Amino acid sequence: MLATMPSARRSSASFLAGIAATLVGFLLVPLLVANAPLEKTMGVVQKIFYFHVPCAWLLMLSTFVCAGGSLAYLFAGSERGDRLALCSAELGVLFGLCVMVTGPLWARAAWGVFWTWDVRLTSSLMLWLMLIAYRLARRYGGAGGRRLAAAMALFAAADVPLVYLSVNFWRGLHPNTKTVSSLAPGMRLPFFTSLLIFSALWGVLLALRMRVERAHSRLAELAIAVEDAEEESL
C-alpha cells in the first residue's frame, strides 16, 4: 500500500494538469471556433466539423487502446491492461455516440440526407458497434466474459482496416478524403486546438474511469481478505 503512494501522487499531479488543460481548452476552443472563417458553401453548419472529427478520432483511438490493453491482458495477464481496455472501450462508446449524433446532423445539412452508406460513416458505425459488443461481452459474458471481450477487441482491431477497405470497395471512393490537409489556414488553428483539447479530455476521463475501476478491484480484494480473516478467527 505504502509503496504505491509516490506513483499515486505523481499520477495525481499529471491528472490535475490534464484537468487544468481541459478546462482552459473548453474556454479557448469555443472562441477559436466562433472566430474561424465561414466555409463557402456550408456556412455556419461546417462548424460542427470541429466537434465531429475529434470525436471520430477518439473513437478510433479508443479501439486501438482497447486492443492494446486486451493484448497485454491476454498474453501477459496484465490486470492493468484489462482495466485500460475496459475503460477505453467505454470512452469509445461515448465518443462514438457523439460521432453518430453529430454526423447525421451535418450530413442532413450538407447532403440533404441523414445517412449515406459512405465509407467513413459505415466504418465508424461498425467500429462503434464492435465497442458496444465489447461492453456487452464484459457485462453479460459470465465467467469467460473478460477473455472473450479481449479476443473481441483483437478481432475488432484487425477488422478496422478490413472494414474500411471492404466498405470502400463496396461504395466506391469517397470524394473528399483529403479534407484535413486541404483545410483553409484560418481553420487549422481551431481544428487542431480542438483535436488536442478533446484528446486531453479523453485522457482525463480515461484516468478517472481507471481510478474507479482500480478502486473497485481493490475493494473486492479487501472484501475477500476480510472474509478470509473472519473465517480464520472462527
Contact positions toward another protein, by CB under 8 A?
74-75, 126, 129-130, 132-133, 136-137, 140-145, 147-148, 150-152, 154-156, 158-159, 162-163, 165-167, 169-170
Please, which residue, 88 or 122, has the CB nearer to another protein? 122
Please, which residue, 11 or 168, has the CB nearer to another protein? 168
Please, which residue, 3 or 143, has the CB nearer to another protein? 143
Provide the minimum distance between the beta carbon of 111 and another protein in the complex, in angstroms, as a whole number: 23
Provide the minimum distance between the beta carbon of 134 and another protein in the complex, in angstroms, as a whole number: 8
Please, which residue, 78 or 102, has the CB nearer to another protein? 78
Q: Is 86 exposed, middle or buried (0-12, 13-18, 19+ CB in 10 A)?
A: buried
Give dist(CA 155, CA 139) in Å, integer. Answer: 18
Residue 19, sorted as left (phi over 0), alpha (psi -120 to 50) or beta, turns out to be alpha
138, 86 Cβ separation under 8 angstroms: yes
Counting other chains too, the contacts that 179-186 makes at CB distance below 8 Å and 24 or more residues apart are 180/53, 184/37, 184/39, 186/36, 186/37
